[in-house]
Amino acid sequence: MGISTLATKYGFQNFPHFSTGRSGAKVDKIVIHHMAGTNYDIVPNIWQTREASAHYGIGKNGEIRAYVDENNTAWHAGNWNANITSIGIENSNSTGEPDWNINQATIDACAKLVADIGKRYGLGVLAPYKNVFPHQYFSSTSCPGKLMSKLGEICDKANAINNGTSKPNTPTTSILYRVRKSWADVKSQKGAFKDLTNAKKCADSNTGYSVFDEKGNKVYSSNATPIVKRLTVQVNGLNVRNKPSLNGTIVGTYNKGATWTLPKSEQLIIAEGWVWARCPIGYCAVGKNTGKVEKDDYIYIS
């Protein structure tokens, strides 16, 4: 679908770290990020060397820039399946660490862009953890920072725009479920949700967090450890290909120490006598298919 009419091209695809096409997948979600930086203009040039990218970026005054065509895959979620089925939106911070604040103008512009994307792709009613996700849902990161508590606001405003109203509908209930480490630890809050199911999903994706009602009563606690496996590259110059095959196009390389996570339930792929694993930008060979772990494998899985 090209780019949103709300956006202006800026450094558009003038960097190597994105993939042409979407591997046959359809867009069914939007992923929200924060830039963890206040220099809006440094993006996307930073992606000349950093193996990452996003489709859009929003500045402190609400400017919207397009970096990658929506028909192509940006490397933003840290999860290949999420990358090929989503549109990534970066949001500039108004202050640096440790607060990483976000201006209201940025939030409002993000809502407009989410509304536009949601309408064009037929995503229906927009809601956190349904079709609008935080980056940290797909990989181990604190991103999108303060925007974790703004996902509901972004979706409400986006739905209001698509419904042709000037402001979100008045909720039928004032109850908000807050996700925190403890009720007293206000600064740890990840979000406030009208829907208990969405609050539980947020808690499940953040180890040690619980859901609290308006009175501070704990209504849900996630004690589960993350059900993921960690992959660590053991060699320098490991090729990343666009499919699990030695005939696949090389789309990048990883050096020793590079690491990412995958769902523990995700199966490795056996092809052409090799074991392959999905990575954020494609597929890597783990090692020869011998039926067991070998000390000279290219990737260690824990």
Identify whether 258 is part of a domain. Answer: yes
Mean pLDDT, residues 216-229: 73
Measured distance CA(212)–CA(197) in Å, rounded: 13
pLDDT recorded at residue 261: 81
Residues 57, 113, single domain; the answer is yes
pLDDT in tens, 198-216: 888 888 877 788 899 888 8
- Tell me: do 78 and 24 sit in the same domain: yes
pLDDT at position 171 is 45
Structural domain containing residue 262: 228-301
How far apart CA 91 and CA 38 sit, in angstroms, is: 10
Domain co-membership, 119 together with 43: yes
Note the pTM of the prediction, 2 decimals. Answer: 0.66
Render pLDDT for 230-272 as a digit per residue (tens, 0 to 9).
899 999 999 998 888 898 888 888 999 998 887 776 778 888 8
DSSP characters over 74-127: ES-SS-HHHHHTEEEEEE--SS-TTT----HHHHHHHHHHHHHHHHHTT--S--
Q: Give the mean pLDDT of 84-107.
A: 94
Mark whether 281 and 209 lie in a shared domain.
Answer: no
* 152 and 22 in a common domain: yes
Type of residue numbered 24: G
Is-contact 201 208, C-beta < 8 A?
A: no
**Torsion angles phi and psi, residue 105, rounded to 5:** -60, -35
30 and 123 in a single domain? The answer is yes
54 and 33 Cβ atoms separated by less than 8 Å:
yes
Higher pLDDT, 114 or 50: 114
pLDDT band at 173 (very low <50, low <70, confident <90, very high): very low
Is 278 among the domain residues?
yes
Tell me: do 61 and 176 sit in the same domain: no
Lowest mean pLDDT among 102-111, 143-152, 213-222: 213-222
Residues 207 and 232 in one domain: no
Please give the tally of structural domains in the chain.
3
- In a shared domain, residues 147 and 283: no
Is residue 18 located within the same domain as residue 107?
yes
**What's the half-sphere exposure (Cβ side, CA atoms, 13 Å) at 6?**
19
Q: What 3-state DSSP class applies to 245?
A: coil
Domain check: are 132 and 256 in the same one? no
Q: Are residues 249 and 215 in the same domain?
A: no
